């Protein structure tokens, strides 16, 4: 990738010029207690419509690209108004002034400012103009929770400041008291982030596939350090250790009896991975001291950055009460006490639902020889079937079938060869557990269907029971003969056997059915989404495997 190439220029916008305004409109449309000022494009302010100016207003903001910050945190118990700039750019002095004037009453206003030069200058000057031009009571605080560098930037921990100040204001505190609450939150909060990528929609990628950056800024600034890629648990331990021991954070976090933890998705981490992060955090050395957990959630993002940050707040004074207080901001996920409840016991023991564990081994040399021959031929056909599947599917049909066969051979001494019904149930267990994907489940259904048929009618032939098992398979899977699946070999063989035909005839019918799939349109299974010209003249590997099964059965029967 060249130094000027952006990794992912695609974006769901109408135009770059209106993206921020359109995004703000979306927030307002989805939030009945919010509105915006009619000042586009220069003034982008979201404010509470349920606000009566009888309490201290809390105003914050900054560049866009960090959504849901800032507009998503406007609501009862948090911000009164949020002022947005363009992507990664501070809003203007006039925009901030408009936000102050829209919501500030006699009790005054507190501006919560992140420690970036543009924000400090524009918000501070707007506060001065509000005092000078409109005689408003306006105070400011500067958030510096990022401990990655000496810059002491304001990042995701700013939300904890919003929450503490918003709760104090909602409770009726004076401007002086609200500012004091905000400053205590600032003095008690430290944050640190890590990422595997930059903001791909805005900057070229600078990290290789085997490295990560620790301490990135939320505008894509380079991290404080590059580190080799590590497992998630080690990454979380690294962040927690730095948070607790760095010179920038020791004074904020040291010796606290309890902490609030905010786990923030920087934009592109899948939810399942964020869950892994939370588990690692709670398993870390600080886990037992975490009294309140916020997230995991995208709270202060950096467009599509593939990373996360952890913010810790040392609890003292009224902070815990303020963080846990009710809040109606649309994007606030609420702080919760970590659920440390031990996992509940399973409702049953594995052996209670295992046909194999409850079966009584028995001998029938002929049946054992036939099953062994089937398993051996499937194991020997692994590469052949995988090669066919590489054309029409995902190249694992042979491996899947061989794995099931190997599992049966491993447990052969436990099988009730002399009793057809429990044998079918045991085979269902073994194949269902050993084989991945839909094949294992379908074969499990088929063998259970056979077992049920044998139980319902002890006099039924194996061929007729086999047909009943296929009926169950087709009902569960939704496919049938003619769909270009293993059923195109299994169904013709079942018709032969259920009508009293020989294994040799069933072998021939299965082989013909498998061969017919070469020109058959795929209507289900692995090949359904493969172009017809790719499928042409290549048989379905599942059908080929089924044909090989009947070839093995006939060979063992006639031996």
Q: What is the mean pLDDT of residues 149-161?
A: 95
Residue 82: per-residue pLDDT? 98
For the stretch 258-289, pLDDT in tens is 999 999 999 999 999 999 999 999 999 999 99
Q: Which helix or strand (DSSP H or E) is residue 191 part of?
A: strand 189-195
For the stretch 291-343, pLDDT in tens is 999 999 999 999 999 999 999 999 999 999 999 999 999 999 999 999 999 99
Whether the per-residue pLDDT at 9 is higher than 90: the answer is: no
| Per-residue buried b or exposed e for 450-467, using 16+ beta carbons within 10 Å of the residue's own CB | bbbbbeeeeebeebbbbb
pTM strictly above 0.85 = no
Q: Which helix or strand (DSSP H or E) is residue 446 part of?
A: helix 437-456
Q: What is the mean pLDDT of residues 198-215?
A: 86
Per-domain boundaries in the chain: 16-201+209-336, 350-558
Q: In what order do the strands lie in the sheet with 211-214?
A: 225-228, 211-214, 189-195, 307-314, 259-265, 290-297, 335-336
Residue 516: per-residue pLDDT? 96
Q: Which helix or strand (DSSP H or E) is residue 64 part of?
A: strand 57-64
Q: What is the mean pLDDT of residues 463-490?
A: 95
Copy the structure tokens of residue 495.
Answer: 């018709």
Q: What is the mean pLDDT of residues 160-178?
A: 98
Query: Are the CB atoms for 67 and 301 separated by under 8 Å?
Result: yes
Residue 92's SS3 state is coil
Beta bridge partner(s), residue 292? 260
Whether the per-residue pLDDT at 7 is higher than 70: the answer is: no
Q: Which residues are within 8 A (CB) of 156 and not within 5 positions of it... i.e. 6 or more apart?
A: 69, 145, 191, 193, 218, 262, 264, 299, 300, 309, 311
- Read off the pLDDT band of 363 (50, 70, 90): very high
Please tell us whether the domain made up of 16-201+209-336 is placed in CATH 3.40.50.10440: yes
In the DSSP assignment, the letter for residue 113 is E
In the DSSP assignment, the letter for residue 96 is H
CA distances from 462 to 295, 314, 368, 457 (A): 57, 70, 15, 11
Which residue carries 């090989």 as its tokens?
548
CATH code linked to domain 350-558:
1.25.40.340
CA 125 to chain centroid, in Å, comes to 42
Copy the structure tokens of residue 20.
Answer: 């921020």
Residue 201: per-residue pLDDT? 73
Burial class (CB in 10 A: 0-12, 13-18, 19+), 257: exposed
Q: What is the mean pLDDT of residues 507-526?
A: 91
For the stretch 228-258, pLDDT in tens is 999 999 999 999 999 999 888 888 998 888 9
For the stretch 542-558, pLDDT in tens is 999 999 999 999 999 88
Dist CA 537 CA 261 (whole Å): 59
The per-residue pLDDT of the chain, averaged, comes to 93
Region for 478 from its dihedrals, namely left if φ exceeds 0, alpha if ψ lies in -120 to 50, beta otherwise: left
Dist CA 309 CA 145 (whole Å): 11
SS (H, E, C) 351-391: HHCCHHHHCCCECCHHHHHHHHHHHHHHHHCHHHHHHHHHH
Q: What is the phi/psi pair of residue 245, to 5°? A: -120, -15
Dist CA 338 CA 334 (whole Å): 12
Whether the per-residue pLDDT at 390 is higher than 70: the answer is: yes
- Active-site residue flag, 66: no
- Read off the pLDDT band of 356 (50, 70, 90): confident
First to last CA, the chain: 63
Please work out, in degrees rounded to the nearest 5, the angle formed at the alpha carbon of residue 467 by the alpha carbons of 464 and 470. Answer: 155
Least confident of 12-21, 394-403, 522-531: 522-531
């Amino acid at each position: 990738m060249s130094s000027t190439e952006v990794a992912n220029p695609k974006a769901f916008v109408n135009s770059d010029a209106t993206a921020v305004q359109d995004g703000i409109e979306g927030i307002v449309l989805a939030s009945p207690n919010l509105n915006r000022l009619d000042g586009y494009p220069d003034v982008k302010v979201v404010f509470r419509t349920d606000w009566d100016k009888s309490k201290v207003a809390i105003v914050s903001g900054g560049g866009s690209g960090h959504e849901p910050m800032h507009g998503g945190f406007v609501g009862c118990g948090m911000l009164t108004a949020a002022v947005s700039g363009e992507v990664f750019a501070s809003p203007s002095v006039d925009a901030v002034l408009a936000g102050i004037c829209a919501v500030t009453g006699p009790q005054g206003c507190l501006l919560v400012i992140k420690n970036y030069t543009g924000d400090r200058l524009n918000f501070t000057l707007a506060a001065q103009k509000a005092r000078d031009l409109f005689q408003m009571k306006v105070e400011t605080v500067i958030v510096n929770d990022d401990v990655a560098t000496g810059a002491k930037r304001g990042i995701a921990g700013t939300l904890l400041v919003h929450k503490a100040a918003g709760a104090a204001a909602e409770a009726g505190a004076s401007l002086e008291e609200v500012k004091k609450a905000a400053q205590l939150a600032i003095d008690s909060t430290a944050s640190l982030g890590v990422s595997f990528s930059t903001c791909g929609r805005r900057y070229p990628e600078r990290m290789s596939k085997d490295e990560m950056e620790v301490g990135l800024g939320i505008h894509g600034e380079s991290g404080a350090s590059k580190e080799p890629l590590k497992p998630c648990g080690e990454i979380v331990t690294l962040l927690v250790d730095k948070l607790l021991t760095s010179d920038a954070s020791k004074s904020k976090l040291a010796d606290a009896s309890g902490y609030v933890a905010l786990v923030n998705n920087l934009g592109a981490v899948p939810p399942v991975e964020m869950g892994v992060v939370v588990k690692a955090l709670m398993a870390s050395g600080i886990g037992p001291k975490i009294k309140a957990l916020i997230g995991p959630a995208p709270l202060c993002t950096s467009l599509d950055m593939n990373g996360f940050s952890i913010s810790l707040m040392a609890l003292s004074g009224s902070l815990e009460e303020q963080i846990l207080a009710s809040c109606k901001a649309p994007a606030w996920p609420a702080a919760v006490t970590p659920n440390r409840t031990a996992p509940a016991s399973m409702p049953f023991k594995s052996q209670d639902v295992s046909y194999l564990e409850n079966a009584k081994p028995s001998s029938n040399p002929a049946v054992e020889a036939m099953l062994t021959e089937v398993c051996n031929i499937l194991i020997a056909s692994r590469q052949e079937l995988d090669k066919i599947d590489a054309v029409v599917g995902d190249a694992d049909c042979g491996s899947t079938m061989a794995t099931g066969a190997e599992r049966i051979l491993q447990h052969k001494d436990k099988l009730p060869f002399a009793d057809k019904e429990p044998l079918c149930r045991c085979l269902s267990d073994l194949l269902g557990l050993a084989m991945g994907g839909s094949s294992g489940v379908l074969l499990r259904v088929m063998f259970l269907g056979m077992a049920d048929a044998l139980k319902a009618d002890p006099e039924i032939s194996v061929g007729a029971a086999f047909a009943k098992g296929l009926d169950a398979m087709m009902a569960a899977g939704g496919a049938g003969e003619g769909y270009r699946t293993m059923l195109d070999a299994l169904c013709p063989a079942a018709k032969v056997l259920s009508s009293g035909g020989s294994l040799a005839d069933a072998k021939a019918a299965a082989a013909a059915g498998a061969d017919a799939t070469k020109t058959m349109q795929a209507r289900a299974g692995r090949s359904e989404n493969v172009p017809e010209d790719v499928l042409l003249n290549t048989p379905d590997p599942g059908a080929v495997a089924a044909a090989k099964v009947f070839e093995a059965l006939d060979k063992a029967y006639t031996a």
